[in-house]
Structure 1
Amino acid sequence: MENHILLNIYKYVIEKGDMGICVVDTEGKLLIYNKKMRELEGVNEDEFEKRRALEIIDFETEKSDIYKVLSSESPIPNVKKTYWNKKNQEVTYISNIYPLHYEGALVGAVEFARDITQLEYMMYQPLRRYGAPLTFDIITAVSEVMRDVIDKAKIVALSRMPVVLVGESGTGIDMIAEGIHHDLRVQNDLFITLICRRDENTILKQIKKNIAGKENITFFAERIEYLSIAAQKKIVELFNNHSNHKHMLIASVGKDPIDLIQEQMLSKELYRLFSGITIYVPPLRERKEDIMPFIDDYFQRHRDSFGSSIQGLSEEVEEIFLKYDWPGNLKELEVLLDEISSLLTNETVIDLHILPAYFRWKIQQIYDDGMEENADLFIIKNPNDIRPLDVYMKEVEEYYISKALDFHQGNISKTAATLGIRRQSLQYRVKNYKLNKKSENIDS
């Protein structure tokens, strides 16, 4: 094939590919800046033409990693970036940047950017909204402790006092926060969730952008202890400098805020900013009477949305669900129900054989404790027990990794060494499988 034909093919592949590509020479002149990279950066056609006309990136202004690669001639792999692009969209991508050499001399650098915005969102998504505003009426909790939580939350909404919600991930804290927002006597214009596990510079920019506007906002800062103390102090300054009594402040932490202050994970100033009142949201294992109402509501919506025949759980599965501790709380239960529902055809009840393999591995200890004579959950007893091989192998791998993490108290480096895989590979699997490990035990 002739060179000019190959060149046109290469240009087409680069422009149409789903990975962002940016190539510059040693002077910063822009050689390649494909469509996907323009989408990630939020650069429209006019801006792109202006940038292409200049043919140069302002390295000093942008403090770009490409500049660092050109200076050091060393690659910078696997850099996760979360920021607001020029179209005011929150974007997250993983970037790999490499120096380009020709005949031993540096001639430029190339950046490959893989868009993981949706994956990142799915990792930290709250309990599903079900297509409607999440008010207190939608919450299916019937336990006395959760009714007390909702009563306190309604008082918070009535008084508009700032509040700290204390509880484990997946307990439904996000539901309580949004319930407060919708229960305000004078409604706010926006409900904004600040996911503090992400890049804190993005969080600060998001606050700066919204705090000084005319709109009245409910800010929900999810897991504020993940922010550095320096970032926490900046947030206090921002809210103190832009005093708007119509803004509503809600924050969540994973455990007792006093303990977090003593461990220097939470600043006293930030705690005071949010702590007009503190509400403890108990984990699901302490309020198991909320399990079946949540499941009944889930299956009701499934019947309404998909016309399915599913009515509920068999007695055996219900007993298992009520005995299991649900370390991932309501979020773990919801994800499990999602997986089960994806396999439904004309079933009316969920029997043991329908449960995913990895979950049957998890409840092995329940069977060992005498709940059932058949301790081996993976003996194939009938055709219904047979699952697609790739599904089965994925579930077994997830269980195996989960147990390895347990043995090493959630330490990623030690577990990866034991499994004989790269640390980054294990981190990817942990996120992909949404394994329920305490974040403070996982070195990231």
Structure 2
Amino acid sequence: MHNETLLDIYRFIVEKGDNGICVVDSTGKLIIQNKKMRELQGISDEEFEKRRALEIVGFNMEKGGLLRVLQDQQPILNVKTTFWNQKGQEVTLISNMYPLYSQDELVGAVEFARDITQQENMMYQPLRRYNEPLTFEIITAVSAVMKKVIEKAKIVAYSRMPVVLVGESGTGIDMIAEGIHHELREKNDMFVTLICTRDEKSVQSQLEKYIVEKQKVTFFAERIEYLSMGVQEKIVELLEKHTEHNHVLIASVGEDPFDLIQKGQLSKELYRLFSDISIYVPALRNRKEDIMPFVEDYFNRHRESYGSVIKGLTEDVKEIFLNYNWPGNLKELEVLLDDISSLITNETLVEVHMLPAHFKWKIQNIESPKNRDITKSDIFVVMNKNDLRPLDIYMNEVEDYYISRALDLFDGNVSKTASALGIRRQSLQYRIKKYTESKTSPDERLE
């Protein structure tokens, strides 16, 4: 095969892949940035050509990612990054970056970026409340690192000092915050969550309403870096004005607060008010020994609430769970268990064929002998009687998977996806809403 033919094949693969790809040479000059990466960054083809002419490097280069790869000649894996692109859209990526060699000589670095924006938005939902106070005693974590997190959190509670909780969405930070509230020696009257990823005006008005209360309040400001600097400064004024009330202040951020301050996303004064101590809550992929206790606790509660006989996972499914990297952390695991348990009848163990189609698609590249039979072409194929399930459930699953993949291919753009599927935009929105509501418990829909 001729070199030109091979180049055409490589170009096709790079441009048609689902991952964003960025390549720089050994000096940091931008060589390749495929269409998917340009879409994620929100830049047009014309803007891309300008960047290339000015030798502007890829997004992660600005954060030291590709630069560190060039300097250290070592890969950097599973880097999670959230940013606002050129079109003002919030995007979350997981990137793998590698050095590139030709005849043992370093010639550049490459980044492969996977878009998990939709998944990340889902992970902002708090973990299930279980209709009881979230105390440290009901947190199922057994890893040494999480035991240290809880130990530090108890010290915070005993001293009533302000604290910043640092970690990715879905890790259980909201449980740690509420655990601190219930661990207070001198009990507070209320626990108020300020969800900063939503309307910042409502966050400010909530704070203004409760901060003047004579009752003692535990304020949990979730992801404060999403507030505009103007609102952050107003919150600083409010907190400094009402110090006499002895409220407890807890905040969370998604990454290192010093990096956020440098990038202008976090007010130094606001951080100072919360920063008597910082507690880092690790991602689930870095404490996989916490996976099975969470699963066991989930099914214990399922048996108590619904009278099911489910006991746990088969060894095959356990291995799949322990090899998967859980980018959505505990919240992703909980949502998956919700999907599985909704189909449980008289089964006592979850088997591979019971895993939802969307999850089978995610795990097909996991290097595990236990899931070698899961491929793109057979996730909906009925191989034996165990694969059979009610037709309406099967068809809904197929539709959900197909729409989810279509939305991924069009970066969540509803209009383009509806056009490609040959249906009206309103019809697609209805299907998305129906799918989203099916993943939410009745109690959550009432909140």
TM-score by shorter chain over 0.5:
yes
1:115 alignment counterpart: none
What are the superposed Cα offsets for residues 265-309 of structure 1, whole Å, 9 maximum, x if unpaired? 111111111111111101111100000001111111111222221
Is residue 210 from structure 1 mapped to residue 210 from structure 2 by the alignment? yes
CA RMSD of superposed structures (Å): 2.9
Change (3 A) 1:172 1:373: closer
1:397 Cα offset (Å):
4.9
Post-superposition shift, 1:131? 1.5
1 CA distance for matches of 2:145 and 2:275?
20
2 CA distance for matches of 1:426 and 1:279?
Answer: 42
1:102 corresponding residue in structure 2: none
Quick one: distance in 2 between partners of 1:346 and 1:333? 22
1:232 to partner: Cα distance: 0.8
How many Å separate the matches in 2 of 1:161 and 1:122?
Answer: 31
- Residues 75-86 of structure 1 aligned to structure 2 (within 5 Å): none
Is the contact between residue 194 and residue 219 of structure 2 (CA under 8 Å) also seen in structure 1?
yes
2:181 corresponds to: 181
Q: Is contact 1:404-1:415 (8 Å) kept? A: no
In the other structure, the counterpart of 1:230 is: 230
Q: Which residue matches 2:379?
A: 377
Determine helix, strand or coil for the equivalent of 2:187: coil
Aligned-residue offset at 1:226: 1.2
Classify 1:179/1:425 alpha carbon distance in 2 versus 1 (closer, same or farther; 3 Å): farther
Residue 280 of structure 1 aligns with which residue? 280
TM-aligned CA distance change 1:206 to 1:423, over 3 Å: farther
- Structure 2 contact 126–170 (Cα < 8 Å) conserved: yes
Q: Which residue of 1 aligns with 2:72?
A: none
Residue 11 of structure 1 aligns with which residue? none
Residue 362 of structure 2 is matched in structure 1 by 362
* 1:292 paired to 2:292: yes
CA contact 1:412–1:426 (8 Å) conserved in 2: no
Q: Which runs of 5+ in 2 are unaligned?
A: 1-120, 437-447
Q: Kindly indicate whether residue 334 of structure 2 is the aligned counterpart of residue 334 of structure 1.
A: yes
**Offset of residue 432 of structure 1:** 6.8
> Given that residues 412 and 423 in structure 1 are in contact (C-alpha distance below 8 angstroms), is that contact kept between their aligned partners in structure 2?
no
Paired with 1:142 and 1:415, the residues of 2 have a C-alpha distance of 45
Q: CA deviation at 1:412?
A: 4.6
Amino acid across the alignment from 1:381 = M
Specify the SS of the correspondent of 1:244. helix
Structure 2 counterpart of 1:39: none
Unaligned runs of 5+ in 1: 1-120, 435-444
Partner SS for 1:345: coil
Question: How far apart are 1:178 and its partner, in Å?
Answer: 0.4
Alpha-carbon spacing, 1:186–1:432, altered in 2? closer, same or farther (3 Å): farther
Residue 387 (structure 1) shift: 3.8
CA contact (8 A) 2:164 2:250 kept: yes
Give distance in 1, aligned partners of 2:142 and 2:327: 20
Mapping of 1:44-123 within 5 angstroms? none
3-state SS in 1 of match to 2:365: helix
What SS class does the counterpart of residue 249 from structure 2 fall into?
A: strand
Name the CA shift for 1:412/1:250 in 2 (closer, same or farther; >3 Å). Answer: farther
Structure 1 segment 384-423 matched on structure 2, within 5 A: 384-389=386-391, 391-400=393-402, 412=413, 416=417, 419=420
Kindly tell me: are residues 405 and 343 of structure 1, through their superposed partners in 2, closer, same or farther at Cα, counting changes over 3 Å?
Answer: closer
Which residue identity lines up with residue 354 of structure 1 in the other structure? M
AA aligned to 1:380 is V
1:251 partner SS: strand
Contact 2:319 2:370 in 1 (8 A): no
The letter for the 2-side match of 1:184 is: L
Give the Cα separation in 1 of the matches to 2:277 and 2:249. Answer: 11
Is 1:347 paired with 2:378?
no
Q: Measured at CA, do residues 125 and 188 of structure 1 come closer, stay the same or move farther in structure 2, by a change above 3 Å?
A: same
Change (3 A) 1:161 1:426: farther
For 1:156, give the aligned amino acid. Answer: V
CA deviations 1:25-61 (Å, max 9, x no partner) are: xxxxxxxxxxxxxxxxxxxxxxxxxxxxxxxxxxxxx
CA distance in 2, matches of 1:262, 1:426: 41
User: How many Å separate the matches in 2 of 1:214 and 1:350?
Assistant: 51
Residues 412 and 427 of structure 1 are in contact (CA less than 8 Å); yes or no, is this contact kept in structure 2?
no
Q: C-alpha offsets along residues 318-370 of structure 1, whole Å, 9 cap, x if unaligned?
A: 11111111111111111111121111111111111211111111111126x65
Identity across the alignment (%): 67
Count of residues in Structure 1 that have an aligned counterpart in Structure 2: 313
CA distance in 2, matches of 1:171, 1:268: 25
More divergent stretch after superposition (287-296 vs 399-408): 399-408
TM-score, reference length from structure 1:
0.64
1:416 and 1:272 mapped to 2: Cα distance? 45
For 2:271, give the aligned amino acid: Y
| Cα distance between partner residues in 2 of 1:430 and 1:260 | 33
